[in-house]
């Protein structure tokens, strides 16, 4: 096992580890023609990205320098608690808790039969591939616990028993066994779990030196795994993708399960072919880990909420990120968070001709916002459940707008560009939506052809939580363009979000 990094040598060792990773995980000249694609997913429980950056963690920091770093946020109750059962289930299955069914660590309602882990999917699709999973949190691999998250179809599973005081002793055993497997055997897809960071968070808090020390020890184990891959006799003929992720965050004083950003914060670090060195993305979700692993070994990702990391989002709403502003009237959002704008993307517009005056500035009509910004405006009112939106999305929120004196009511319409269509054809309008209903508010999708009066094609009369919507549009004869409107009205009711609007 690689020793922990002594204090005072962080920069030198980090530079050395980065150089080693550049060699160890670079795409070899033979890899361009290689047919052996492999993937390693490393799970570090309860890791906070900012604390990983602050720790003596040369291997993890080296992966960031040589690949991708992406922050992501979780759901909260009532979809699921920010705890390990839902978190690792989302990572493993590539779908959110409303599909895999795990809401807490009791695993009550789990639906792995319909939504299996990515190693099981690989076994089902390509049984000749070798799969491996190792963990010391028992529900991940043990058949004797509420799991296992990774099923018995996985070719080889290692299950050790860690606990709040025991992960420091068990993690090295997991890493040693996994390193031997990665180096000496022939796994095509592997998952390795390490639990000590979470234990330190519970015992001492994420802001403690003990937490940083735990990150350093786990980082050394990560280095052991990476070295095992690098030293494979056949490494030169292989194309490896390595991902590191976590299941939830931790509060500064320790703990998780709730809806604060500290608890909901997660990340994905990834290194491999097609991933630019030192890149940072805002459109990655935790469900993308499984999708990326499956795509790496040529297995379909159909039916997943996640998408492979090689397929960045092209949503026009994301183009307004440079225009995002800090809070104006809101008080619960940290002052340094830039996360809202009323400037629409090119070709889009917002019609506020029927909008009341005054109210909270951030939500005066349709706005464009990030999850980090919007959910902190008021926690625990289902805003955290908007998991299928990515990066920047459109939001109409009459509840928050009403928190400051105003005249009139909330009535705002988001308008798309005009899209070319052929008369007599059928086109499909798709978008991601998150709508919380209450009597007295209206949410409608309207379309108009060739500038004619808009007609309603969808009215929401009940909650539509984190939904992927698809509406068939029958284009009338003679039409050459279509324009879509999203009209929301209310008076201290709830909210509606829209994202990734496309005409297919």
Cis ω before 78 (30° cut-off from 0): yes
Pairing assessment for the beta strands 131-135 and 189-194 based on DSSP bridges: parallel
How confident is the model over 295-354, as pLDDT tens digits?
999 999 999 999 999 877 789 999 999 999 999 999 999 999 999 999 999 999 999 999
> Do the beta carbons of residue 243 and residue 66 sit within 8 Å?
no
Specify the DSSP class assigned to residue 370: E
> Do the beta carbons of residue 490 and residue 409 sit within 8 Å?
yes
What integer pLDDT is reported at residue 35 of this predicted model? 65
Residues 6+ apart with CB under 8 A from 6: 56
Cα-Cα end-to-end distance for the chain:
52
Q: Using the CB atoms, write b or e for 441-461: b if 16+ within 10 Å.
A: bebbbbbbbeeeebeebeebe
Scan for tokens 């050394």, then name that residue.
Answer: 220
How confident is the model over 73-107, as pLDDT tens digits?
999 999 999 999 999 999 999 999 999 999 999 99
Spatial CA neighbour of 489 closest among 399, 405, 398: 398
Cis ω before 148 (30° cut-off from 0): yes
> Do the beta carbons of residue 54 and residue 5 sit within 8 Å?
no
What integer pLDDT is reported at residue 31 of this predicted model? 39
DSSP H helical ranges for 267-396: 288-296, 371-375
Domains of the chain, residue spans: 38-296, 316-503
User: Which 3 state secondary structure label does DSSP give 238?
Assistant: strand
Stretch (H or E) spanning 203: helix 196-204
> Do the beta carbons of residue 55 and residue 260 sit within 8 Å?
no
Report residue 201 as tokens: 């968070």
Strands (E), 223-319: 238-245, 265-271, 279-281
Residue 192 has pLDDT above 50, yes or no: yes
Angle between helices 209-230 and 167-184 (to 10 degrees): 10
Residues 6+ apart with CB under 8 A from 476: 423, 424, 449
Report residue 108 as tokens: 């009550």
* DSSP one-letter string for 14-69: HHHHHHHHHHHSS--GGGGG--EEEEEEEEETT--HHHHHHSS-HHHHHHHHHSEE
What integer pLDDT is reported at residue 143 of this predicted model? 72
What integer pLDDT is reported at residue 131 of this predicted model? 98
Spatial CA neighbour of 300 closest among 69, 165, 472, 118: 118
* DSSP one-letter string for 118-177: HHHHHHHH-TTS-EEEEESSGGGT-TTSS--SS-TTSSEEEE----TTTHHHHHHHHHHH
316-503 CATH: 2.60.120.260
Q: Which of 154-163, 419-428, 446-455, 480-489 has the lowest mean pLDDT?
A: 154-163
What integer pLDDT is reported at residue 14 of this predicted model? 39
How confident is the model over 373-430, as pLDDT tens digits?
999 999 999 999 999 999 999 999 999 999 999 999 999 999 999 999 999 999 999 9
Distance CA 469, CA 430 (A): 6
What integer pLDDT is reported at residue 145 of this predicted model? 65
Residue 15 has pLDDT above 50, yes or no: no
What integer pLDDT is reported at residue 121 of this predicted model? 98
Backbone φ, ψ for residue 258 (5° rounding)? -95, -160
Domains 38-296 and 316-503 belong to one CATH topology: no
> Do the beta carbons of residue 94 and residue 306 sit within 8 Å?
yes
∠ CA 218-222-226, rounded to 5°: 170
How many Å is the maximal CA-CA distance in the chain? 74
Spatial CA neighbour of 107 closest among 91, 76, 83: 83
Mean of the pLDDT values across residues 430-451? 97
How confident is the model over 236-286, as pLDDT tens digits?
999 999 999 999 999 999 999 999 999 999 999 999 999 999 999 999 999
38-296, CATH topology level: Alkaline Phosphatase, subunit A (3.40.720)
Count the helix, strand and coil residues of the chain and give each as a percent rounded to the nearest 5. 30, 25, 45
Report residue 420 as tokens: 């070319």
């Amino acid at each position: 096992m690689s020793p922990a990094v002594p204090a005072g040598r962080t920069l030198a060792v980090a530079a050395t580890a980065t150089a080693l990773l550049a060699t160890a995980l670079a795409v070899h000249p033979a890899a361009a023609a290689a047919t052996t694609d492999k993937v390693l997913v490393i799970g570090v429980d309860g890791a906070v990205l900012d604390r990983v950056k602050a720790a003596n963690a040369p291997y993890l920091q080296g992966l960031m320098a040589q690949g991708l770093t992406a922050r992501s946020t979780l759901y909260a109750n009532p979809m699921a608690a920010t705890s390990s059962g839902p978190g690792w289930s989302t990572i493993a299955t590539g779908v959110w808790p409303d599909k895999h069914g795990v809401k807490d660590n009791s695993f009550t309602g789990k639906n792995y039969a319909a939504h299996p882990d990515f190693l099981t999917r690989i076994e089902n699709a390509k049984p000749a591939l070798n799969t491996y999973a190792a963990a010391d949190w028992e529900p991940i691999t043990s058949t004797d616990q509420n799991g296992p998250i990774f099923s018995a179809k996985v070719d080889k599973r290692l299950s050790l028993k860690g606990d709040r005081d025991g992960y420091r002793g068990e993690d090295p055993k997991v890493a040693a066994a996994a390193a031997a497997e990665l180096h000496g055997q022939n796994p095509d897809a592997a998952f390795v779990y390490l639990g000590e960071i979470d234990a330190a968070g519970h015992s001492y808090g994420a802001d403690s030196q003990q937490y940083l020390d735990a990150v350093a020890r786990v980082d050394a184990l990560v280095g052991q795994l990476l070295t095992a891959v690098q030293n494979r006799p056949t490494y030169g003929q292989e194309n490896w993708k390595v991902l590191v992720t976590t299941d939830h965050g931790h509060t500064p004083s320790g703990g998780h399960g709730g809806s604060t950003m500290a608890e909901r914060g997660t990340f994905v670090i990834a290194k491999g072919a097609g991933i630019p060195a030192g890149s940072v993305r805002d459109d990655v979700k935790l469900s993308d880990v499984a999708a990326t692993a499956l795509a790496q070994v040529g297995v379909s990702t159909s039916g997943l909420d996640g998408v492979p990391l090689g397929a960045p989002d092209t949503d026009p709403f994301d183009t307004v990120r440079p225009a995002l502003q800090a809070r104006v009237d809101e008080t619960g959002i940290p002052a340094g968070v830039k996360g809202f704008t009323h400037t629409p993307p090119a070709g889009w517009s917002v019609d506020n001709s029927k909008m009341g005056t005054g109210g909270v500035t951030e939500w005066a009509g349709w706005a464009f916002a990030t999850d980090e910004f919007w959910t902190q405006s008021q926690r625990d009112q289902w805003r955290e459940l908007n998991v299928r939106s990515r990066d920047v999305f459109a939001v109409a929120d009459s509840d928050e707008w009403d928190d400051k004196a105003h005249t009139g009511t909330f009535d705002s319409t988001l308008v798309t560009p005009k899209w070319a269509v052929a008369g007599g054809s059928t086109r499909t309008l798709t978008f991601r939506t998150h709508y919380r209903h209450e009597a007295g508010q209206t949410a409608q999708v309207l379309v108009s052809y060739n500038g004619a009066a808009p007609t309603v094609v969808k009215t929401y009369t009940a909650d539509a939580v984190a939904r992927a919507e698809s509406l068939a549009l029958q284009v009338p004869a003679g039409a050459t363009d279509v324009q879509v409107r999203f009209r929301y009205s209310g008076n201290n009711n709830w909210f509606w979000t829209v994202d990734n609007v496309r005409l297919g």
